[in-house]
Structure 1
Amino acid sequence: MLFPSEMSKITILTYKNNSEKLIKKLHESGLMEIDRVKNEIVQEGRIHPDAGILAGYQLRLERIIEILKNYRKRKKGIKNLLSKKIEKKKVKSRSLKEKIGEAEKILEEIEKKVLDGEKRLDEIEERIEFLKAEIEKLEYLSLFNIYVEWIGKSKYTIIKFGISTDLSELKNKNFDFYYRKIGDKKEEKWAVLIVAHSSLENEINKIKNFEEIFIDGRGLARDLMKEKKEEIKKYMEEKKEIKNNLAEIYRKRKMELLAIKEEIEIEKEGKEIYRNFGETNYTFLIEGWCLTENSERVRKIVEEATDRENAIFIKKAKRNPDGAPIHLKNPKWAKPFETFLELFAIPKYNEINPTVFLGITFVIFFSVMLGDAGYGMVIFILSLIAYLKFKESEFIKSWSFLGIWLGLGNIITGFLFNSFFGDFISRFIYGDPEKMIYTVKIFGFSLPIDAIHNPVLILSIALVFGLIHLNLGFILGIYQNIIRRHIKNIFAEQIPWFMLEIGGGMLIGDALLELWTLESFTKMIAIILTIIGLIALFKKNGPLGFFEITGFLGDWLSYARLLALGLATAGMALAFNVVGELLPDIIPYVGVVLMPVLLVVAHFANLLIQSLGAGIHSLRLQYVEFFNRFYEGGGKKFIPFQIRRKYTEEIK
């Protein structure tokens, strides 16, 4: 748990005639990650010939499914975002030939219908767009109440219709024209009808700011508009019918399509893995990784699949890295925090897995920064409802589980810091904004702590949290260096800081802050510790050691954000309560109704904004301040060669 799971390197050499059975068994077990063999002694592997055939069926099935998905009946609201539990289709273990046969049969039955339907919908859409454009032209022409067939050239006359953005040039010409304004104030446009002798055609063609419109048909524009609208209506009905047919196909054949596609993908993955092998004329060489705890299971699978016609070598990876992939083994409660770790980087094989520490401190920092019991209850209740009601959705389940922890943390810190929707209880229930929610003494300490009126104490707590967090990073760094056998690094990277913190802290508390008075012997020890710490620091970093000290102080003071965000939450909540209290006096009668609405909306907005800030800043303290003490990251995730089924369940 403290380090990534132990991995073992596996090398398998076997005859080619054993390959298909071995690959199938390894694929089913999902215990081994198969790497590409890079060895000059053997040739590079080639993809199995069946992989290309399977890829073709996969693409055809994907295309049909993607088309049909566009026409499925969608659920509205939040239900559309939540994944429903999938009832897997039970499939028998069968040969590749049988699976391809089923895929071909399904495609033969529906592929043409779906593709023809999609093609017809595209044609209809194109036709409707054309008709709409024609209707727009006819709308402009209908302003003049003339027949469409009149537009054009005859022996003696020419009639042209179009759009103009400037009438000044037309007014200066020696022919008749009629116009109607069609633009708005921002864009001046006119529908223009030009009537002239045919001899003036060239002059008309030279007119600027005139875009001629061509319309086909006979009769009045308004009559043609009706015809085209009726035509659109018919196309829309046909479009609806085709969409309903496609939606019905998807409803009836959805699981069948998804199941056979999944089976084809599994077979394709099994055939494509051949390219990772090394090969000779008669043998295959397979290399990869598995969890050390599973190495003997892999050996047994190989022995059974090849009838012992193999040579298998298993070597446990060293912590001083062999390039092993990373598998993180965390407690169930810490699983949601793996996402935050992956956002930064997963650890290298010889690095500490900080997920548990990240999870605990993230919850603490978030709870201090938000620090309101009322907001915590909202987060807790909503998260608990989501966890219980939408447990089929892994995404919702994971994040709601995290929300439960954050909600509980905020309930605790909120009551510690005298904040329940700000001063809601004190102001509206007790009738005295200065009164504490409760009063209790524990080991001589009075609780709760009023964060608004006693910010210095909260700042002190925040800095103590910061010092603990930073030193936890140093301790983890020491342990990591011990495992790596980098003992010298401990005395260059971690020990100097402990000396400076102890020695420097004692001297500053004595001389500057006057918190205590050191005896001469104790002061001498503090001076020695400080000097040794500085020498070690400057020896490693040279003159830049000075910036290491200022950097550390900056990182430590960065934890003051715990106070800043906590005060921001409490201050905003208090301000909303004050406004809510004054509202009935400012707006008689109506204010009484508005007050609860204002408080609900304002507190909910404050909850969202401050939660976002608390989350971002809590992560920042992990990524910048904490990880900077010991963590680098950059590992490669362990991805086993494994059958992953979402829509099918194989029965023997």
Structure 2
Amino acid sequence: MQKIQVIGLREQLEKAMTFLQERNVMEVKELSADITSRINSATKHDHDLELKLANLDFAIKLLSNYEKNSILPSPIILNATNMESIAKTFNYEEAIKQAQRLEEEMVGTKNRLTEIQQDEKALEPWKNLSVHLDTPHVTRTSKLTLGVIGKLDYEKFQKSLSDLGLNIDFHTVSEDQSKAYFSLIYLLADADQISGLMSEYRVQEAELKTAEGSVKQHLHAIKKESTELTHQLNKTEKELAELAKNLDSLKVVHDYYLWQFVREERKNLTGETEYTFVLTGWAKKGALKALKGDIKERAEGVAIVEVAPEEGEEAPVALRNKGFMKMFESVTRIYGLPLPTEIDPTPLLAAFFIIFFGLCLSDSGYGFILFSLTFIALKFLKIPEESKGLIRLLMWGGLVTFVAGIIFGGWFGLTPEQAPSFLTKMVPGANGEEVLGFKGQLINPVGSGAIIFLGLAFALGIIQVLVGLMIDGYWKIKDGAIMDAMLDSFLWIIFLVSLLSLGATGMIESLTPYARLSKNIALGLTIALVLTQGRKSKSIVGKLGLGVLSLYNVVGYFSDVLSYSRLMALGLGTGIIAFAMNTIAGIMVDLVPYVGFIIGIIVIILGHSLNIALSTLGAFIHSSRLQFVEFFGKFMEGGGKDFEPFTRECKYTHLKD
């Protein structure tokens, strides 16, 4: 990365900004305090663009609810020319007006529908009320009360009311499971007695809206209006569905104006005088030469100048992997980017990750399905470029899984006896007899090969740990810290290898004669570590103390290696679960007459689909975890800031070159 300044005539600012946005190779930064103290900083804000984007967002969000969804929706992938053409020819303003009008109609209709539905719910218990809704409840001599009482108290209330011996007109209007609804007309002179009795039995007075006619007539009018409103709502929704056919065009227009909005926002980071402007940021070194030449052709009088970073300023990081290695960047980015002074770990993790992934799945059938699905997706679906990397990684992971499955005899959890004949052959058994086995199988992970599988996992762990230390040493030498590389990296590599050699002489009989030599080498290297690992301490006691304590790092290295046993655990787990699904399906076939076969097929399909999904997720997570913890920790700190170039940002579409 190279820090640069773009300087030119103010009248060329728009052309320069448009050019830089198209080229996608410069990250625009705020001007330094030194520059802003001498010139004015631009603080423009385009409210029209902001409002336009807000209206487009509103229309897109609204119409998305009425879009015809396909099973496999295709993303919108267009080049800049096509997007500009659509934005300039499509009448998006009219579409927004229609969307706003229809939304207002729909909200109004829904609110009215909700209102009358509430009225209907309130009036339904009173549909048999003989009194009209516009009848006065209080006259000079009497009062009408509509009451609601709990069902359990209703009979007692009626008896108590009768015992009062008053001149009343009482009618039960309706009853439901928990309540009773009644009308009561009584003289005002008896109001205190009636009111006291109603309070005693917790009677609630109902207040119905005043309207002409009876409750039945009003309910009929409500139902009629409800039907009309529902019809109107359906009509509005159909119009919205018709308008939603323009959704793709609205999305294109939105992103076209988003480019302009982003450009205006970046202009706020420029410094301006009466006649000139200055813009600062970072650019990729490889693109700088072409950038300098091309900008002069697009914006006359504009120049790019290389400048030194400020003290403590850290450059952004852009990973530069091509071809096969590009897809592994998705793994690196999960962990985080390296610092500008660190090596890009992407090409270093590639081989380890893909092998670990295959070992974690270790089923040829699953590998074939994973490869086929991802291959079809890449071939026939419109997938955004930024998502293709991960899918390609899974595709290659499926291919490696297929090979690993052949080596370990994994075919959908089938035993050789259950598998088709073209997958099997007669092989020598443990006692020399001929037994049925899988073609190409070299290791039986659930039999005698379990220890071999575990040993393979540990061997891969040892190799990756040592490679991590080698990278650390190489990078220290490149930075000029040769002594640190020799004593903190390569000395540990030799020491760990000597410990492995010492262990091998004790386990392998043919290496026994070298046991004494291995022991002496390991002892000598131990002394070397004690004498060198505390070298940065000022006191002799500190040097020796830190040297002795450094030997404890051996535990950490062996702990790292033990972590690789997860490769075996996940590989076995995939096969065991697959075998269990086959067993359950077989039991269903035998257990349930007639339909057992169908149930078995369902168990097979659902069970294996779930196992493929979970095992693939587990393989990806644990293979990544081994890179992040056991590998990256040896040579990389991480925490780099991603390079965010000034580009034509898209929210709903994908721009292709």
User: CA 1:350–1:649 in 2, change beyond 3 Å: closer, same or farther?
Assistant: closer
1: CA distance between counterparts of 2:2 and 2:149? Answer: 77
TM-score (norm. length: structure 2)? 0.82
| 1:520 counterpart = 2:553 | no
CA-to-aligned-CA distance 1:164-221 (integer Å, 9 cap, x gap): 49748974994378596646xxxxx424436363504643674686655433245554
Q: Does 1:193 align with 2:188?
A: no
Rate the CA distance shift 1:309–1:287 in 2: closer, same or farther, 3 A.
closer
Name the amino acid aligned to 1:372.
Answer: D
Instruction: String of CA shifts for 1:263-309, please: whole Å, max 9, x gaps.
Output: 43333332322221234454322211211122122222444456447
Moved more, 606-615 or 487-496: 487-496
d(CA) in 2 for partners of 1:408, 1:262: 38
Aligned to 2:322: 331
Q: Does residue 112 of structure 2 align to residue 117 of structure 1?
A: no
Secondary structure, aligned partner of 2:22: helix
CA distance, structure 2, for counterparts of residue 374 and residue 343 of structure 1: 28
Cα 1:413–1:165 shift into 2, 3 Å: farther
Which position in structure 2 is the counterpart of 1:11?
5
Instruction: Please report how far the alpha carbon of residue 492 of structure 1 lies from its aligned counterpart in structure 2 after TM superposition.
Output: 5.1
Partner of 1:4: none
Of 297, 306, 321, which residue of structure 2 is paired with 1:314? 306
Aligned-pair CA distance for 1:557:
0.6
Structure 1 counterpart of 2:438: 438
Contact 2:63–2:241, Cα closer than 8 Å, also in 1: yes
Q: Partners in 2 of 1:574 and 1:253 — Cα distance?
A: 48
Match of 2:610 among 605, 610, 625: 605
2:331 is aligned to 340
**Aligned AA for 1:264?**
Y
Q: Whole-Å Cα distance in 1 between the matches of residues 47 and 555 of structure 2?
A: 60
Larger radius of gyration: 2
Match for residue 28 of structure 1?
Answer: 22
Contact conserved, 1:10 with 1:290, CA < 8 A, in 2?
Answer: yes
* Residue from 274, 283, 289 that aligns with 1:290: 283
Equivalent residue runs for 1:215-230 within 5 Å: 215-216=208-209, 217=211, 221-230=215-224
Of 236, 242, 261, the match for 1:268: 261
Whether contact under 8 Å (1:502, 1:529) holds in the other structure is: no
Q: How does 1:546-561 map to 2 (within 5 A)?
A: 548-561=553-566
Candidates 532, 549, 554, aligned match of 2:528: 532
Q: Distance in 1 between matches of 2:204 and 2:347?
A: 70
Name the amino acid aligned to 1:156.
S
Alignment partners' CA distance in 2, 1:67 and 1:586: 52
Please provide the CA RMSD for this pair.
Answer: 4.0
Structure 2, unaligned runs of 5 or more:
162-169, 430-434, 537-544
- Does structure 2 retain, via aligned residues, the 8 Å contact 1:68–1:246? yes
Aligned pair 1:417/2:403, yes or no?
A: no
Matches of 1:491 and 1:166 in 2, distance apart? 92
Structure 1 counterpart of 2:522, which letter? A
2:634 counterpart (624, 629, 647): 629
Q: Which moved more, 1:617-626 or 1:171-180?
A: 171-180
Letter of the 1:233 counterpart: T
* Alignment partners' CA distance in 2, 1:534 and 1:499: 14
Rounded Cα–Cα distance in structure 2 between residues aligned with 1:253 and 1:467: 55
Which stretch shows the higher mean deviation, 393-402 or 474-483? 393-402
Aligned equivalent of 1:567: 572
Question: Pick from 122, 125, 134: which aligns with 2:119?
Answer: 134
- The SS at the match of 2:282 is strand
Please tell me whether residue 459 in structure 1 is matched to residue 445 in structure 2.
no
Structure 1: gaps (5+ residues): 1-6, 184-188, 441-446
For 2:21 and 2:649, locate their aligned partners in 1 and report how far apart those are by CA, in whole Å: 9
Mean CA deviation greater in 261-270 or 505-514: 505-514
Residue matched to 2:648: 643
The amino acid of 1:138's aligned partner reads L
Tell me the alpha carbon deviations over residues 509-539 of structure 1, each in whole angstroms, 9 at most, x when there is no partner.
Answer: 4458878423533421121123323554566
Structure 1 residues 502 and 208: alpha-carbon distance in aligned structure 2, compared to 1, 3 A threshold: farther
Bigger Cα displacement from structure 2, 395-404 vs 266-275:
395-404
| Cα displacement (A) at 1:38 | 0.9
Counterparts of 1:590 and 1:238, CA distance in 2: 48
Cα distance in 1, alignment partners of residues 240 and 586 from structure 2 = 58
Asked if 2 retains the 8 angstrom alpha-carbon contact of 1:386 and 1:396, the reply is no
On the 8 A contact 1:295/1:314 being kept in 2, the answer is: no
* Deviation for aligned residue 1:233: 1.7
In the alignment of these two chains, the number of paired residues is: 620
Q: Deviations over 1:243-268 (max 9, x none)?
A: 3333434435852x445444433333
Could you tell me how far apart the structure 2 residues matched to 1:552 and 1:181 are?
79
Distance 1:22 1:299 in 2: 11
